[in-house]
Amino acid sequence: MKHLSLLTTLTTVPLLLAACGQAQDESSTTLTTPENESSYVLIGGKSTFLKKTTDDSSKLDHGSEKCEIPAGAKVLLQSDPSIEGAHFLVNTKEMLPGCGFSKGYVFREHVSKSSAKILFTVNVSAFLDTIAYAEGTGDRYDYMYTHKVFYSYSGHPRQIQCSYGLCSDAAGRYQFLSTTWDAMRRKLGLTDFSPTSQDRAAVQLIKDVGCYNLVVNINGFETFSRAAYCVSGQWASFPGSPYGQPKRSSSHLYGKFSKFLERY
């Protein structure tokens, strides 16, 4: 994970943090170095928000949909944060001051340190982000074809959507067809269509089509291009795809891949 610069000492507030703009009671704080942090923490590198969705914070209401976290604050979590594209999904140990929810999203670029476990190599993680960008889903794991939203991660939605003469039941961040998903689900023993399951299935699909080593060994435009063409039989938006959907060029996708690497 990418780390922003860290202060040598950080203020820890036992019941999470002080509300933005409130003075902290010095008797209830301790100073801790990054090496002595407890498990399951997320530290804001600059003022940010806990958000109920991944939507832009400017579109969300204070209290019910977003809650401010001051710069330098340490937020205790119930478990390690998970990575969902540009965000961490977190569940705070206790409610933030004035907040109506505990589970939500924090923009990763506003975090200086966390206990998140990266499941895949940096190249693989950035390549997954590139697939999602090319497929038009970005950080959304709940999109069907045509960007219609589904509301349960219990399983693949299996709903056919049509646009401009093309119909598909593709769904999720990596736009899995239900038939492809069923094969990955059986192979990996997946029990839901959650973001983590979708990530694992996408990586397995890359392996199954013989492209995994190409992705792991990307070290420039040429090696990226080989990996991109390799997966084009699975993702219609990649260069060389035999399908009739619009495609992205290798140079354009490589620029995005390079930017996504900075997340990790």
Residues of the chain with CATH 1.10.530.10: 122-261
pTM score, whole prediction: 0.72
pLDDT for res 73: 85
Residue 158, classed as helix, strand or coil, is coil
pLDDT for res 167: 93
Tell me how far apart the alpha carbons of residues 108 and 89 are, in angstroms, rounded to a whole number: 10
pLDDT for res 137: 95
pLDDT for res 46: 74
In sequence order, which ranges of the chain are alpha helices (DSSP H)?
A: 122-135, 178-188, 195-208, 212-216, 221-230, 250-261
Neighbours of 38 (CB within 10 A): 11
Name every residue whose Cβ is closer than 8 Å to that of residue 66 and which is 6 or more positions away in sequence.
Answer: 49, 50, 51, 52, 57, 60
User: What does the DSSP assignment read for 197-251?
Assistant: HHHHHHHHHHHHTT-HHHHHT--SHHHHHHHHHHTTTT-TTSTT--SSS----HH
Residue 92, classed as helix, strand or coil, is strand
Tell me how far apart the alpha carbons of residues 108 and 88 are, in angstroms, rounded to a whole number: 6
pLDDT for res 42: 57
Residues with a known catalytic role: 135
pLDDT along the chain (264 residues), means of 10: 32 36 34 43 72 92 92 86 86 91 90 80 96 95 95 96 92 97 97 95 97 97 98 94 88 97 86
Cα pseudo-dihedral 68, 116, 7, 14, rounded to 10: 60
Helix axes of 195-208 and 178-188: crossing angle, nearest 10 degrees: 90
Tell me how far apart the alpha carbons of residues 12 and 132 are, in angstroms, rounded to a whole number: 36
Token pair in block for residue 155: 């399983």
Cα pseudo-dihedral 19, 20, 22, 23, rounded to 10: 100
Tell me how far apart the alpha carbons of residues 107 and 247 are, in angstroms, rounded to a whole number: 29
Residue 181, classed as helix, strand or coil, is helix
pLDDT for res 75: 87
Name every residue whose Cβ is closer than 8 Å to that of residue 215 and which is 6 or more positions away in sequence.
Answer: 123, 124, 127, 206, 227
Neighbours of 217 (CB within 10 A): 11
In CATH terms, is domain 122-261 a member of 1.10.530.10? yes
